[in-house]
Amino acid sequence: MNERRVVITGVGCVSPLGNDAESTWSGMKEGRSGIARITHLDPTPYGCQIAGEVKDFAADQYFKNPKDARRADRYVQLGVAAARMAYDSSGLGETEGLDLTRVGAIVSSGIGGLGTLENEHAKLVVKEGAKVSPFLIPMMIANIGSGIFSMEFGLGGPNMAIVTACATSNNSIGEAWRIIKFGDADAMIAGGAEASILPCGLAGFGSMRALSTRNDDPEAASRPFDKDRDGFVMGEGAGVVVIEELEHAKRRGAPIIAELIGYGASADAYHLSAPSPDGTGPARAMQMAMKHGGVNPEEVDYLNAHATSTGLGDVAEVKAIQLAFGDHVKNGLKVSSTKSMTGHMLGAAGGSELLACLMAIRDGVVPPTINVENQDPECDVDCVPNTAIEQKIDVALSNSFGFGGHNASLLVKRYV
């Protein structure tokens, strides 16, 4: 049963670079930053006053009933938008006789409805016992995005959320891949969504000294692999794909973007938030993905790195890449971080970064790592500094790592 091949037939994205997949990808290719001073709230009290915000987003156009959008946290709104785009672009909704009990959803969030929690808790701070919204709990919980999307389209297949912090999207897509490989579904909508540019998010990550404070130069603040990086920049958005068993996709004439051939997951078992400095945990995830995919390290053309622009994280990932890829690091492997443009979309990051891998295969373009002015010698990889390059890409790998030591890697290949 696990010999079933899995392909990607739809993609949707909402990001600081654009409100659909193609505009997001255009921004990545152009090396355009989506980072600016925060506008959703007054950022003056916080050390970090910049972020990658989604702009000009109208949630109600993505729900069957616009009223339902107002009963959803922003993370759910973003997730439903990306999921609908992926679903529509796959053509699933136009398929006659589709067995919806064989279609499921894992659209997850690393943090969940933080905005809803903040707003409703504020009522209790003002007056103990104050009446809160009856939608507080269902709007706040991290699984409701998948639940709502199944309701929107009547999907009766496996439905859940996977919360692994910033590895959330990759784990969601990877476990959806397993479900299809095992035969429990024919198609899955999978990815992640996040909306944490909020007082609690800024204060919490700020107290950890994890955020950049380059407030006077927002577009240059997210600078993975650069010696002068000073922390990550928060982003928000959603990235979702439709993955499908190959024969099921072929029978309905689906557009096949690429084949999802491997998934690896591991744990650092090291620290609450810091990565293991030797890189062995992420290396195992990458090696597992390549083993599943039946490819050797030298066959991987492009790696979209987790690289968030933190001092410890970027170095640890480079060590992991060197462990997993050996001499190929110096002999052709391209490694870039699109977080330099989107900021770190947390639980949604992997979805948008898998998009970068898919489009790199489609267009033969490797997106750059921008803001690399003085590459850290400890980050000794070809990070495609500042300008995209044209190169045929047949196999690409995407890394996502989360607080708690969660590591997840996805491997995609040109479909032939």
Dist. CA 92–CA 100, nearest whole Å:
10
**DSSP E strands: which ranges in 294-333?**
302-304
Nearest CA-CA partner of 368 in 357, 384, 352, 353 = 384
d(CA 378, CA 393): 26
Give the residue numbers marked as catalytic.
166
Query: Is the alpha carbon torsion for 139, 141, 145, 149 positive or negative?
Result: negative
CA proximity to 237, closest of 286, 195, 197, 177: 195
Label residues 272-304 b or e (16+ Cβ within 10 Å = b). Answer: eeebbeebbbbbbbbbbbbebbebebeebbbbb
